[in-house]
Amino acid sequence: MLKVKIICDKEFTIGEIDDRLYGSFLEHMGRVIYHGVYEPEHVCSDEEGFRKDVLQAVRELGITAVRYPGGNFVSAYHWEDGVGPREERPRKVDLAWKAVETNEFGTDEFIHWARKAGVMPIFTVNLGTRGIEEALQYLEYCNFPSGTQYSDLRRRHGVEEPYRVKLWCLGNEIDGNWQIGHKNAAEYGRLAAEAGKVMKLLDPEIELIACGSSLSAMKTYPAWDMEVLEETYDVIDYLALHQYYGGQEKGTAAFLAQTLDMETYIQTIRAAVQVVKQKKRSAKEVKLSIDEWGVWAVPGNTVNIEVEANPWQTAAPISEQIYTMEDALLFSSMQMTMLRNADAVKIACQSLLTNVSACIMTESNGEMWLQTIYYPFYYFANYGRGTVLQSVYHGESYNCEGFNNVPYLDQVVVWNRTRNEVAVFLVNRSESDSQEVKIVLQGMRPNTVKEAIYLSAEDKKMTNQKDHLAVQPRESNTVELKENCVTATILPLSFMMIRVGI
């Protein structure tokens, strides 16, 4: 049994959690859209073809924002193909995923779906094969009231009121050589700055997200970020970071330690932002948007095998990763890392929502089920609201391939003034030892344990694919409250949330 002590004080805070930190992502990739959120022929779909079981799961999950339409897909996408009468929309080749895109689901459908799901839309413009003029036209279609070419086009499509989309991404992963329209930092920075400038001339109320590095492993990181920030700082509001982790073959200890890399990644980009801010003598604060993140649980060379063998299908099932209990722990720690940087990270989009690296899985013409990662996200999104507290960790650490001084217990503490409660989130990285945790809440008067749940499994490789309830949260009876201290026992390789009334 390992012993751990966590100390926090309500007077020592990190920052306020932005609701948009609990976002997700829809892209025209595989079965994310078609047979995921949209399946008109399904028995439980509504009059617009949206799967009601998926909508319900999204609402319950607590998702606040969803990014659309990509992703790699957007870098060759013509937004005009996805608006207006469906019978007039063209079938197009999708070069990103070697598919045929029917455009049956587009901007208008996404907005309708987002309103039913209760989420904020985040749109991405194509700065791969297109540029300033098309970005401006897309914004005009969505946000301008009336009396112009593209606003009146929207009205002819039956949408009188503008969509008023506030958040716009200036392209996607343009630093990657896999991206259609890949550019170097100087080329992208100038294009993004000019596109952003004219978009804000049309609608000064929007916020803009520029492409930062696509992974911490990119050879151009962090020089790309510095150069893009220098070009775009005056017009953008956020810099995007994307991050996925795999590498289960390295062993559990190294696999779960990867969030230390994520912490360094975020801290480095935070420093880059501050350097550019000072160089420009600017009072403006540019924040971060981690608008793609998740666990990439299959080897990269197997993701598109089916597509390579039989390309140019519509909504072919690709990269339908099945998550294990082990994956859910890394997923949880990634979420904790973002929370510990809540003063800078204001937007995050778990990637993706359905079927591809997803929380929610659907069977075509069949049932829906929830992956192991659904449950940690649910507890973070529903109870990780308010102020992140600084917390001091006293406990043992380990060394592994690529990382030193990895805490056996990952943790973050959130104080919710509205609910008068503190939520403590914990991940035990140890494969063999339970941990006896003592949480000292200084400057507070805890009076009750409102809820204590944990997520664990007999086998770290257990999934919910066959038995959909194999890995699910359970109540913990190990939590005790005495004066201003909470004690709990957390099992090996498990996630725990404790809610304490204050």
**Residue 131 and residue 198: Cα distance in Å, rounded?**
11
Q: Which of 454-459's residues contact partners 24+ apart within 8 Å by CB, and which partners?
A: 454/490, 454/491, 454/494, 454/495, 454/496, 454/497, 455/325, 455/328, 455/372, 455/375, 455/376, 455/494, 455/495, 455/496, 456/325, 456/491, 456/492, 456/493, 456/494, 456/495, 457/325, 457/493, 459/325
Among 414, 411, 418, 344, which Cα is nearest to 381's?
414
Spot the catalytic one: 173, 227, 230, 326: 173
The burial of 310, by beta-carbon neighbours within 10 Å (0-12 exposed, 13-18 middle, 19 or more buried), is given as exposed
The burial of 401, by beta-carbon neighbours within 10 Å (0-12 exposed, 13-18 middle, 19 or more buried), is given as exposed
Residue 140's SS3 state is helix
Concerning whether 480 is annotated as a catalytic residue, the answer is no
* 8 Å CB contact between 148 and 140: yes
* 8 Å CB contact between 235 and 194: no
Concerning whether 173 is annotated as a catalytic residue, the answer is yes
Bridge partners (DSSP) listed for residue 25 = 67
**Residue 75 and residue 446: Cα distance in Å, rounded?**
51
Q: Which residue has the tokens 């140019």?
A: 312
Q: Which two tokens stand for residue 420?
A: 């008068």
Spot the catalytic one: 292, 320, 326, 421: 292
Q: Which two tokens stand for residue 344?
A: 């800078």
Among 238, 241, 248, which Cα is nearest to 215's?
241
The burial of 213, by beta-carbon neighbours within 10 Å (0-12 exposed, 13-18 middle, 19 or more buried), is given as buried
**Residue 111 and residue 117: Cα distance in Å, rounded?**
10
Single-letter residue type at 334: M
Among 428, 394, 436, 422, which Cα is nearest to 410's?
428
Residues recognised as catalytic: 173, 292
